[in-house]
Structure 1
Amino acid sequence: MTLDIRYSNHPDDSKHYDTAELRKNYLIEKVFVADEIALTYSHQDRMIAGGAMPVKEELKLGSTKELGTEYFLERREMGIINVGGKGVITLDGTEYELDYKDGMYIGMGTKEISFRSADGSKPAKFYINSSPAHKTYPTVFITKEKANHRPLGSEENMNKRVVNQYIHPNVCESCALQMGMTELDKTSSWNTMPSHTHERRMEVYFYFELEDDNIVFHFMGQPQETRHIIMHNEQAVISPSWSIHSGTATSNYTFIWGMCGENQTYDDMDTIGNLDLR
């Protein structure tokens, strides 16, 4: 298992970042590595994001010095959505089979976690978010059908989409983590516009289902100091609580969002008018 550390920074610092510095601080360029668990530890609310891609081997999740615990979920909870072929997650001896876009909430206190693919030629790709926890809640297997579905946007504004809330109070209990998947209609390329911030929660975005050479323009920064990061398929980006997090692309796409922080009120946001952006 690899764990890349990203430290928090002040929003004023980002005003001076060039392209390379923005990508170094916020972009998670390689989410999936064959037969590895590749994770990034952000000091923004101590969120961990990354992926497990078992091809030839079963991958076991261990702890690290950075966590200071005997096992990974001793004081954490975890969300997973599979974006690859069929795979199996084993939790303390109990197996769960996840197909494409199936998800899971895993409660604090789960000791042994391993990942394997049903077929190594079509490996599972388990996208992972994990945040600190203070209480144990039941582990829940969540298919896309069981998620809470919220249609939003319109073709006229090029933001017609469905927000599928997987780890959300309407679906299952969690301490701080929320996680879901937004699917854009073929007519649309914008997400979260008008944009917003929420000082109470940070967020991580993972973009996928970008075919061929299509790219995402992920917008970030304070509303009057916006920046952008160009992203490719199956890359993730850290969004601090002070930053907008909006995007458009050269095609439609899907993204997984994960949040943690002060509350679990999904609509608790500070909306920014389009004409107020700079």
Structure 2
Amino acid sequence: MTISVSVRQVVGPEDAARRDTQGLRDGFVMEDLFRPGEANLTYSHLDRMIVGGVMPDTKPIEIAAIAQTGTERFLDRREAAIVNIGGAGTVRVGGKAYELGFQEALYIGMGEGALSFASRNQGEPALFYLLSAPAHRTCPTVHITREMARKVVVGSAEESNARTINQYVHPDVCDSCQLLVGLTMFEPGSVWNTMPAHVHDRRMEVYLYFGMQEQTRIFHFMGEPSETRHVVLKNHDAVLSPGWSIHSGAGTGRYAFIWAMAGDNMSFTDMDKVPMEDLR
């Protein structure tokens, strides 16, 4: 079992505008989150969000504590959300075991203790996508199925962005302190996500792209509206989005993505839309 933690400092808009492609990737992109028998975590200074991939193989993987939180236990002052995008698996926390199937989620309240992850079948391992943010109150731990998710249908085929937003950790589904988490699925032929673009300076966001063929790529757009940049992402890559940055993308083939936010409020619709004519 291997647990690795990398740290990402905050990158400001002036800095981002001057960076080359590798510089942008170093500041914002997290590659290859899922590796057999490993937990790969990134501690971001954007609202102290932790983003990680856990892929158990023959043995369970436990996350009890990491030095970066400065607490005795990982969840002493944090909440977490886990979405499984692989084979069936089990998450043990707070003295209970939760069986998570494909695209099922688990919200975990502050103070629940160590996390343990296991795959049901080594030949089809679970892929647990982990998100964690600081919390100031404890909310109940909830197993969230796809049927429980709040579904919002948006976009159109004419605009190449017909999609369903499945809101997993959302006030209408379960209580949380500051995490909002959901999963967006696209209709065949639709490739654009979150366009027209927006920013929300009150909250950061992170995307994980998945469900892609080996050769499929996402052109993910970021930066201030007047200074846009892009990075090219493959399956299971994630990208951080500061509050000042747009976050939008288009794929060369079918894909899905998980979005998560943390910050000042819990209003999914709190966003500052950017007119198309203002994008540069």
| Fold similarity call, TM over 0.5 | yes
Q: Residue 146 of structure 1: SS of its match in structure 2? A: coil
Task: Measure, in 1, the Cα distance between the counterparts of 2:94 and 2:201.
Answer: 36
Cα distance in 2, alignment partners of residues 214 and 252 from structure 1:
8
- 1:174 paired residue number: 176
Q: Alpha-carbon deviation of 1:92?
A: 2.5
The answer to whether the 8 Å contact 2:108/2:141 transfers is yes
Matching of residues 88-127 of structure 1 within 5 Å: 88-127=90-129
Q: The residue matched to 2:223 in structure 1 has which SS? A: strand
Kept in 1: contact 2:64–2:113 (CA 8 A): no
- Structure 2, unpaired ranges of 5+: none
Question: Which position in structure 1 is the counterpart of 2:28?
Answer: 26
SS at match of 1:60: strand
- Aligned residue number for residue 4 of structure 2: 2
Q: Cα distance, 1:141 vs. partner? A: 0.3
- Worse overlay, 201-210 or 91-100: 91-100
Q: Distance in 2 between matches of 1:199 and 1:92?
A: 34
Distance 2:235 2:53 in 1: 14
Across the two proteins, how many residue pairs are aligned to each other?
A: 278
Percent of residue pairs bearing the same amino acid type: 47
**1:129-148 deviations in whole A, cap 9, x for unaligned?**
10000000000000011000
Q: SS of 2:174's equivalent?
A: coil
Partner of 2:264: 262
Q: For 2:193 and 2:12, how far apart are their aligned partners in 1?
A: 25
Return the match for 1:142 from 144, 148, 162: 144
Summarize the alignment of residues 47-196 of structure 1 with structure 2, pairs less than 5 Å apart.
47-196=49-198
The residue type equivalent to 2:202 in the other structure is: R
Measure how far apart 1:220 and its partner are: 0.2
With normalisation by structure 2, the TM-score equals 0.98
- The answer on 1:204 being equivalent to 2:206 is yes
What SS does the aligned partner of 1:15 have? helix
Displacement of 1:10: 1.5
**Distance in structure 2 (CA, Å) of the matches to 1:142 and 1:25:** 32
**Structure 1 position 212, deviation (Å):** 2.9
Unpaired runs of at least 5, structure 1: none
CA distance in 2 between partners of 1:24 and 1:158 (Å):
30
Q: Deviations over 1:146-178 (max 9, x none)?
A: 000000000000000000000000000111100
Preserved CA contact (<8 Å) 2:65 2:114: no
TM-score, normalised with respect to structure 1 = 0.99
Query: Aligned to 2:243, which of 241, 244, 250?
Result: 241
Taking the aligned partners of 2:130 and 2:9, their CA distance within structure 1 comes to: 19
Runs (4+) off by over 6 Å: none
Supply the RMSD in Å over aligned alpha carbons: 0.7
Find the partner of 2:225 among 220, 223, 226.
223
Aligned twin of 1:40: 42
Following superposition, the deviation at residue 230 of structure 1 comes to 0.1
Give the 3-state SS of the residue equivalent to 1:263 in structure 2.
coil
- One-letter identity of the residue aligned with 1:19: T
